[in-house]
Amino acid sequence: MGLTSDLESDVKEVFAMRWETRVGEVVPEAEHLRLGNDAVTFEEAAILLYAHLAESTALVNAKKNHFAAEVYKTYLHCAANIIRKNDGVITAFDGDRIWPCSLAILSVPMPAKAPSTLTMPS
């Protein structure tokens, strides 16, 4: 069979499969994930948070590499600690993004107004 036929067969198989549903109590580790029609439900609502560093492309384009890297590292460090402190589980890092999941609501206070603009070295 050619690639097209193989892919068409695989897609048909996925759509023909029945979904298996199980109750979960924790966010699964990567090694516990199964390929196929496997669904996990939670008694509590699972919360997915997409935390992205605003204006990160402009930062990289306008500032020195080491400075941009320091901003990324400190942002991800602080975000990861806030997430873990609130019982969240980090499922992935992707550049300037962090993908946490939590079975509890993250209650992180937001500032009343935006902080003053920082002066960044060029």
Q: Domain locations in the chain?
A: 1-43, 46-106
Output the six-digit token pair for 120: 């960044």
Q: Please tell me the total number of residues recorded for the chain in this structure.
A: 122
Backbone angles phi, psi at 24, to 5 degrees: -110, 155
pLDDT in tens, 64-84: 989 988 888 888 888 888 888
Predicted model pTM:
0.52
Return averaged pLDDT per consecutive 10 residues of the chain, 122 residues in all.
89 86 76 74 68 83 90 86 82 76 53 50 49
Work out the number of other CB atoms within 10 angstroms of the CB of residue 89. Answer: 16
The per-residue pLDDT for 118 is 47
The span from the CA of 100 to the CA of 79, in Å, is 10
Determine contact, residues 97/50, Cβ cutoff 8 Å. Answer: yes
